[in-house]
Homo-oligomer: A and B are copies of this chain.
Amino acid sequence: MTINLTPSPVRLHAVAGRGQPEPSPALEQLYRGFEQELLVPLWTEIGDLMPKQPESKAVPHLWRWERLKALAAQAGEIVPVGRGGERRAIALANPALGGRPFATPTLWAAIQYLMPGEDAPEHRHTQHAFRFVVEGEGVWTVVNGDPVRMSRGDFLPQAGWNWHAHHNAATAPMAWIDGLDIPFSYYTESQFFEPGREHVDQVERSTPERSRSERLWGHPGLRPVSATGTLPATPLLAYRWVDTDHALTEQLALEAEGHAGTLGPGHAAVRFTNPTTGGDVLPTMRTEMHRVRAGGKTQVRREVGSSVFQVFDGAGTVTVGERSWEVARGDLFVVPSWQPFTAQASSAAPLDLFRFGDAPIFEALHAHRAQLGA
């Protein structure tokens, strides 16, 4: 990357309009003065900069899992994985964000693909990350030397600045999605990166059923006394599908028995949390699993900040702003800031949706807002 030190051109043109000064030679001269001094008046920009409510540059968009997987498989054949490129990850580029690999203005979402026997080299970065597995198995992600199995339905957070590598121990390729706060740290210019070893060692290539982190932290309501205090991000490296599924099933069962627990009628939802705080797993990303019972529909909701969803199971219809799609397993779509969102499950089966978003950023800064209804 090179930084262009040539000043960007500021180009102002006197226009008529509400709150605009009358075009005149004096105004034109003033605007030329502004340009020369690298100044821009508020009055020409305020509509864009200070809208009545968030008007996202990003647009709703859907990516089909089958297409993603096919391209990733193709990349698996011809693009090697190694130092420099670091990962065979292919990111969603929101069509309205200038061709950048940004699913939304703050979130990165990519499919990552690893061939049998392959290693993705070790590195660490301050960007927070997670992996979510919509299908397949066979890869272990090695975090600070702790190998963590990745299997369908598992959610695997990866807090910033921890060393990590991936290793495919199976005989088939494996694909999964990565979520990171890359665009956020890119715009705010707060990121650090450090390469590690090319390959993890033999012990780290072992394939235990449960990681050490799970053995230490994966017990409900219990924590090791040896590790008190709070951590900014979760020390638990895997949230297993069996637990997530169980929690969702129980919420719907409780609702059926007449008790509280679901987020809305027929709509169960759990949030992945940091057991040392009870808050979000990562400082910048909220991650949740939602289940809409067969034939059910979520309440329309809009929220400051953006989200990416992946269909984990079932089928149905999702509506984001003025767009609507029939969705199936693996499909990914984005909900830009303040766009109304609703999901409807098909009548045949419940619809399970994995969701990640940037809400913790806004909550930490007291800037979060949400509202039910369109």
In the complex, A173 has a CB within 8 A of chain B: no
Q: Compute how far the CA of A4 lies from the CA of B48 in the bound complex, rounded to whole angstroms.
A: 13
A4 to chain B, nearest CB (A): 6
Q: A190-B54, A193-B50, A246-B219 are in contact. Are A89 and B42 (CB under 8 A)?
A: yes
Could you tell me the distance between the alpha carbons of A68 and B38 in the complex, rounded to whole angstroms?
10
**A30/B192 contact (C-beta < 8 A), A127-B50, A250-B216, A270-B222 known:** no
* Complex alpha-carbon distance, A336 and B187, angstroms: 12
Q: Is the CB of B367 within 8 A of A19?
A: no
Report the Cα distance A367→B243, complex, angstroms. Answer: 31
Q: Is A202 positioned at the interface, with any CB of B under 8 Å from its CB?
A: no
What residue in chain B is nearest A37 (Cβ atoms)?
B67
Nearest Cβ on chain B to A324's Cβ, whole angstroms:
15
User: Are B193 and A278 touching (Cβ within 8 A)?
Assistant: no
Interface size class of A (residues with CB under 8 A): 35 or more
A188-B362, A189-B56 are known contacts. Are A222 and B43 too (CB-CB below 8 A)? Answer: no
Q: Which listed residue, B9, B38, B239, B261, touches A221 by the CB 8 Å rule?
A: B239
- Among A58, A85, A96, A218, chain B packs the most CB atoms within 10 A around the CB of A85
A271 to chain B, nearest CB (A): 5
Which of A9, A63, A262, A278 has its CB near the most chain B CB atoms (within 10 A)? A278
15 A–B contacts, CB within 8 A, in A order: A4-B96, A19-B86, A30-B75, A39-B71, A40-B100, A40-B101, A55-B189, A189-B336, A189-B337, A215-B254, A220-B236, A225-B263, A226-B251, A273-B275, A275-B278
